[in-house]
Amino acid sequence: MHMLEKPAQTLSIKKKLLGVSIILLMGMMFFLYFTYQTFTTSLENERKSQTKNLSSTAMGIIQHFYDLELKGELNTPDAQKYAMHALESATYGETGYFWINSGSGELLMQPFTPDRVGINQTNWTDINGQYIFREFISNAKSGGGWVSYHWPKPNTKDEYPKISYVDYFEDWDWVLGTGVYLDDMRRSIFWVVAKASGALFIVFLIFVAGGVALINGFANQLEAFAIKDALTNLYTKRFLYEIIPDIQRKSLRLEEKSLAVIFMDIDFFKRVNDNYGHAMGDEVLETLGEVVSEKTRADDYCIRYGGEEVVVVGFYDDLETAIMAANRIRESFGKRLFVFNGTEFSVSLSAGIAIYDSEKETIQETLERADNKLYESKTSGRNCVSS
């Protein structure tokens, strides 16, 4: 009896080990499946967000050339030509690019299918019979949106599933689109999960981080083209309002720092334009942009808020250090000399400062308080800083 127990016990243990192994294997498979689904969803959402951001930046480029048209610096054909040239060369990754079609369906720009340019595509269908250009136009004119369809990859004829974000520039009747091929995205995810290795998971994460960094780098290049003021080389007011959520989040992380808004304005700037002409006024504004850039830190946000108004948003140890920063700009700008017909003159600067209190107000309200402090500087004799 005892001779039989040991093999039976051994078999029982082996069965338990096998059962545990099967459970662990099933658990690992479930984990890998869950990880795959999670990574797929997360990366798809991230890529969609990046694609939408790239579309917004590209729309900013179109708006830039349209503004040049409105100013009379370019005629309409040249403005449109330069805009299309900038976006046609703005490919990213292996298969990322922009295209433009008219609101009536004519393909105006597509870097990898130039044979279709100039042809109306409203009756063209993909391999599933989907009238994709009709969907592009409908979604774009409805406020922008996503379209799923099939389209050839660059330098190929086979169609692959793709999702693209489309937007509409009404003034030129342009539909702008850019997207991502789904199989390219999912293949990289499957490769990582299939290895079921922690090391390869890390490699995958590095790969994703590198891809995101490259896309962000490209987006930053396009944004720098679209969100910088041409005269002062400072950020635009539009850019400030776009990054307010990021500034608020950073403020919560840097609790030991004070988020300060410095509102500055050139004193008697109208006199400069009246007495010396608008060209000299532009030189004064350009100099102000140089001084602000020189006397602020790399992580400060320097914005041309409007006309001769400049806003600096930054994190400082306290109010006193923010006042010192404002005075550095004011004093440095006041020392700059301008020459008109042999006559030298200088221009002063007034500033107002407000510290953001996240528990009591919005950043917009902080901007308004800083503007009110600027008004105090103006009524106190100008060429000073109020807080």
Residue 33: which pLDDT band, with cuts at 50, 70 and 90?
low
Q: Which position has the higher pLDDT, 45 or 225?
A: 45
Phi, psi of 121 (to 5 degrees): -110, 10
Q: What's the pLDDT tens digit per position in 230-240? A: 899 999 998 88
* Cα–Cα distances in angstroms (integers) from residue 323 to residues 10, 150, 304, in the given order: 80, 58, 19
Phi, psi of 109 (to 5 degrees): -155, 125
191-195 mean pLDDT: 60
pLDDT at residue 13 in the model: 47
By CB atoms closer than 10 A (0-12, 13-18, 19+), residue 87 is buried
Residue 156: which pLDDT band, with cuts at 50, 70 and 90?
confident
Concatenating the DSSP letter of every residue in 41-62 gives HHHHHHHHHHHHHHHHHHHHHH
pLDDT at residue 50 in the model: 86
251 vs 360: CA distance, rounded Å: 14
pLDDT at residue 6 in the model: 39
Looking at domain 235-386, its CATH class is alpha beta
Q: Is the pLDDT of residue 53 over 70?
A: yes
pLDDT at residue 70 in the model: 95
156 vs 143: CA distance, rounded Å: 31
Q: What's the pLDDT tens digit per position in 274-326? A: 999 999 999 999 999 999 999 999 989 999 998 899 999 999 999 999 999 99
Give ranges for CATH 3.30.450.20 in the chain.
47-185
Q: Is the pLDDT of residue 266 over 70?
A: yes
Range among 31-40, 204-213, 305-314 rated most confident: 305-314
Give ranges for CATH 3.30.70.270 in the chain.
235-386
> Over pLDDT 70: what percentage of the chain?
79
Q: Which position has the higher pLDDT, 288 or 32?
A: 288
Q: Do the Cβ atoms of 259 and 367 come closer than 8 Å?
A: no
92-101 mean pLDDT: 89
Decide which of 3.50.50.60, 3.30.450.20, 3.60.20.40, 3.40.630.10 is the CATH code for 47-185. Answer: 3.30.450.20
56 vs 62: CA distance, rounded Å: 10
337 vs 87: CA distance, rounded Å: 41
pLDDT at residue 313 in the model: 94
pLDDT at residue 84 in the model: 95
Nearest to 286 by CA among 338, 242, 245: 338
Residue 21: which pLDDT band, with cuts at 50, 70 and 90?
low
Q: What's the pLDDT tens digit per position in 319-372? A: 999 999 999 999 999 999 999 998 999 999 999 999 998 888 999 999 999 999
